[in-house]
Amino acid sequence: MNILVTGPGTFHADVQPEVGKLYSLEPAYSGTGAQNRAFHGLVTEYWKSGAWSYQGSGYREGMTFDEFRDTIKKILGAGFESYVYVTDDGKIKKAKQFDDIPEHIRKAPDRRDRIMGRLKSWSDYTKAERKRTINNVLSEMDQVGVDTPKYREILAGMSKLWEERNAG
């Protein structure tokens, strides 16, 4: 259901809300609570499964959960929102895009350790970025064979929510 608030206490809805039913109102374009719960539940279950630690996966064996979650956001999510780097004369500079970092620092192997990306916070992801990231996590979990009871429970809950939102 989409609701447009037109003034104090007034709104237009594409579907008439049921009288006596409680609704949780969330902005249409920012991420939702359901997306938040799904992402964190999926990442937790993926980490617990250990299926992510295959060779060449981009994940490092022995990662802590926080390191794993950050790697998921880097590889399967929105990635870095900005960069910080150190110039040859020791000054700390910021760059919005990786290509904004001077080429002689970006491409020199002995200078790459002067660059640090700043991951986009999950709370700053748009609804579309959250959806894309969750789909990427689901796809990878299926590809590596995660099939735990908790994963099936999360999928069932997501499926039920999808059916409820698209009913009618």
Residue 168 — very low, low, confident or very high, per pLDDT cuts 50/70/90? Answer: low
Mean pLDDT, rounded, of the chain: 87
The contacts of residue 51 (CB under 8 Å, 6+ apart) are 141, 144, 145, 146
DSSP 64-85: -HHHHHHHHHHHTS--EEEEEE
> Greater confidence, 61 or 45?
45
Phi, psi of 9 (to 5 degrees): 75, 5
Amino acid 56: pLDDT: 65
Write down the pTM of the prediction. 0.74
